[in-house]
């Protein structure tokens, strides 16, 4: 089985930084057999530019251009544009580096010319030398709205401007009911050669739910003969980065892998938890889910590749047990 699966395709569902780390690991072992369907609920128009933060994080991460510390934008970045923009009195709460700006300007120009976000992303990926297929979840606009005690905030206003301070009451994905899956996401989801579908360790509520909220995705995951495996974004009740645990508290959800498994519900075949949370493997299995522990804290490239290998071994085993 392993040999056959080694040739199978992988579909990864991914948000920003945490998910992108695993996507990089999967890319290193699967290359052009990997399709990464990326959340576009965080996309927004800013300074007249179409900004797609999660797409860019995945593109930059797989191209080796991402800033390793900051979690967004490019390494070795300069900020002269922002400084000049500040002189002109323009909005400067959303930081755009000088190099990073190129992708926003180029994408905005091409979208205005009538190209799809998929087509633009495909070309940019090719230009950056990527062999994996990075695809937006949809070419139609879906906009994450965070319903908070300070009102309804567009995602970036909540995440960047308000620095996740407001208390989250619920999260809406405007446009999700009518947005069509991108052609490549849809094709990957029904690909008969799929060896695994991986839900990357991005924020389940903010970054993965937009993908799952699209019409047909949950059904596609449930129907797929390939195992659907999530990697829990929590380690010992904490997220490596971002407001996952804060939001879980505000939604009165226990910050553990069982909550994550329950959240993804019927779409999962298996879940990987961190070695520190090995104790939850039993309870997860008791929920009727395949579960195993692995080192999910990805500091180095070899950590990323190591976790990707664990995910694919898990998928191999799940595929083998079906046949």
Strands 228-231 and 270-274 turn out to be parallel
Give the binding range for a second copy (CB under 8 A) out of 23-31, 100-108, 199-207, 230-238.
100-108
Name residues whose C-beta falls within 8 Å of residue 5's C-beta, 6 or more positions apart in sequence.
Answer: 195, 196, 312, 315, 316, 319
154 vs 283, which CB is nearer to a second copy? Answer: 154
Q: Check binding of 43 to a second copy (CB under 8 A).
A: no
209 closest CA partner among 256, 267, 128: 267
Q: Check binding of 23 to a second copy (CB under 8 A).
A: no
* Dihedral pair phi/psi, residue 90, rounded to 5°: -80, 165
**Residues between 104 and 123 with contacts to a second copy, criterion CB under 8 A:** 105-106, 108-109, 112, 123
Q: Check binding of 162 to a second copy (CB under 8 A).
A: no
285 to each of 198, 221, 265, how far by Cα in Å?
A: 19, 20, 13
Q: Tally DSSP H helices, then E strands, for the chain.
A: 14, 14
- C-alpha 165/C-alpha 319 separation (Å) is 43
Task: Give me the 56-95 binding string for a second copy, x by CB under 8 A, dash otherwise.
Answer: ------------------x--xx-xxxxxx-xxxx-----
Closest distance to a second copy from the beta carbon of 111 (Å): 9
100 vs 256, which CB is nearer to a second copy? Answer: 100
Give the binding range for a second copy (CB under 8 A) out of 29-37, 96-104, 268-276, 313-321.
96-104
Q: What 3-state class would DSSP assign to 252?
A: coil
- Which residues contribute to the site for a second copy (CB under 8 A)? 47-49, 74, 77-78, 80-85, 87-90, 97-103, 105-106, 108-109, 112, 123-124, 127-128
């Amino acid at each position: 089985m392993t040999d056959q699966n080694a040739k199978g395709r992988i579909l990864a569902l991914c948000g920003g930084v945490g998910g992108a780390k695993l996507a990089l690991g999967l890319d290193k072992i699967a290359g052009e057999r990997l399709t990464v369907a990326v959340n576009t609920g965080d996309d927004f128009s800013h300074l007249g530019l179409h900004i797609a933060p999660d797409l860019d994080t995945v593109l930059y991460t797989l191209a080796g251009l991402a800033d390793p510390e900051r979690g967004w934008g490019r390494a070795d970045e300069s900020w002269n544009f922002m400084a000049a923009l500040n002189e002109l009195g323009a909005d400067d709460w959303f930081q755009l580096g000088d190099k990073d700006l190129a992708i926003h300007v180029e994408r905005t120009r091409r979208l205005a010319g009538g190209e799809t976000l998929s087509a633009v992303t495909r070309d940019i990926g090719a230009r950056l030398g990527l062999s994996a297929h990075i695809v937006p979840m949809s070419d139609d606009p879906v906009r994450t709205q965070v319903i908070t005690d300070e009102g309804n905030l567009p995602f970036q206003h909540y995440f960047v401007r308000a620095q996740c301070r407001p208390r989250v009451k619920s999260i809406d994905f405007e446009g999700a009911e009518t947005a069509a899956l991108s052609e490549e996401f849809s094709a990957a989801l029904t690909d008969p050669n799929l060896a695994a579908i991986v839900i990357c360790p991005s924020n389940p509520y903010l970054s993965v739910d937009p993908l799952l909220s699209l019409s047909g995705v949950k059904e596609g995951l449930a129907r797929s003969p390939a195992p659907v495996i999530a990697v829990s974004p929590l380690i010992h009740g904490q997220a490596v980065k971002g407001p996952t645990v804060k939001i879980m508290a505000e939604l009165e959800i226990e910050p553990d892998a069982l909550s994550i498994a329950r959240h993804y519900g019927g779409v999962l075949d298996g879940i990987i938890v961190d070695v520190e949370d090995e104790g939850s493997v039993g309870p997860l299995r008791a929920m009727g889910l395949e579960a195993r522990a692995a080192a999910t804290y990805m500091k180095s490239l070899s950590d990323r590749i190591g976790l990707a290998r664990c995910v694919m071994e898990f998928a191999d085993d799940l595929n083998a047990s079906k046949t």
